[in-house]
């Protein structure tokens, strides 16, 4: 992936990963923690500009953790970290169960706080806890919830999901679903957060209809919904 002169490369095996200052850390993730991981490297003009790791939570297959986010001094405030996070979110969309991304942020690190809030993370106010990781006393857990919307099909399973989600709008939503078979303008989307049907959206409507907990996350600005 390339964005405004920033080249992003993702590595998911040690054989692929070039030598870099974080190699030992990656080997620790691979050999000691034995977790699913990938590393994101940013380059500008062929020179290393940034790096980060993302790992799947050892005990929860829906949750991923971003760490070691670093931008080289000459490339700071040029969108390098934002470009790396954009690739992370694109990559996590491939994992069907993934619906939460977390990161631990030092309260005194204003640049990191601004980056994560701009990306859509929210401060939970909780101390981060992750097996085998050590955190500083001033670190707090930030979270970003993830969802994807897919066109619903007029099949029994999707009809039942939409009926449960739509409540008083049940009849009109199911009617739109039937019409969608012949009219693309009547498409009904189911919003999936991992394996949970979190809500729906009708074509022509900007705002989705979400379950209460997911609507609260949307209003808090910490829900990212991607198409397909």
Q: How many domains does the chain have?
A: 2
154 and 112 belong to one structural domain = no
104 and 198 belong to one structural domain = no
132 and 167 belong to one structural domain = no
At 183-210, the pLDDT tens digits run 888 899 999 999 999 999 999 999 999 9
Choice between 21 and 70, residue whose per-residue pLDDT is larger: 70
134 and 153 belong to one structural domain = no
Give the pLDDT confidence score for residue 3 in this predicted structure. 54
Does residue 83 register a pLDDT over 70? yes
The first and second tokens of residue 176, run together, are 């739109």
Please state the rounded mean pLDDT for residues 164-168: 96
Query: What's the predicted TM-score (pTM) here?
Result: 0.92
User: Which residues form the domain of 78?
Assistant: 2-146
105 and 30 belong to one structural domain = yes
Mean per-residue pLDDT over the chain, rounded:
94
Give the pLDDT confidence score for residue 227 in this predicted structure. 87
Where does residue 166 rank: exposed (0-12), middle (13-18), buried (19+ CB within 10 A)?
A: buried
Does residue 66 register a pLDDT over 60? yes
Q: Answer whether 44's CB lies under 8 Å from 83's CB.
A: no
At 100-153, the pLDDT tens digits run 999 999 999 999 999 999 999 999 999 999 989 999 999 999 999 999 999 999
11 and 66 belong to one structural domain = yes
For strands 122-123 and 63-71, give the pairing: unpaired
Does residue 1 register a pLDDT over 60? no
């Amino acid at each position: 992936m390339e964005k405004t002169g920033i080249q992003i490369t993702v590595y998911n095996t040690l054989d692929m990963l070039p030598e870099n200052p974080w190699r030992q850390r990656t080997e620790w993730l691979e050999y000691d923690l034995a977790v699913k991981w990938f590393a994101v490297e940013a380059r500008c003009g062929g020179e290393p500009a940034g790096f980060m790791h993302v790992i799947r939570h050892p005990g929860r297959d829906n949750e991923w953790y971003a760490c070691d986010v670093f931008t080289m001094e000459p490339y700071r405030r040029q969108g390098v970290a934002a470009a790396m996070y954009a690739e992370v979110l694109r990559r996590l969309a491939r994992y069907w169960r993934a619906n939460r991304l977390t990161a631990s942020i030092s309260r005194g690190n204003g640049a990191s706080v601004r980056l994560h809030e701009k990306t859509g993370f929210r401060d939970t106010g909780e101390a981060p806890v992750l097996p085998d990781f050590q955190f500083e006393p001033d670190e707090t857990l930030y979270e970003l919830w993830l969802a994807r919307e897919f066109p619903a099909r007029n099949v029994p399973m999707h009809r039942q999901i939409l009926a449960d989600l739509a409540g008083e709008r049940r009849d009109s939503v199911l009617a739109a679903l039937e019409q969608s078979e012949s009219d693309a303008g009547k498409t009904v989307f189911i919003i999936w957060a991992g394996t949970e049907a979190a809500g729906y959206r009708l074509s022509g409507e900007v705002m989705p209809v979400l379950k209460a907990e997911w609507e609260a996350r949307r209003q808090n600005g910490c829900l990212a919904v991607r198409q397909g």
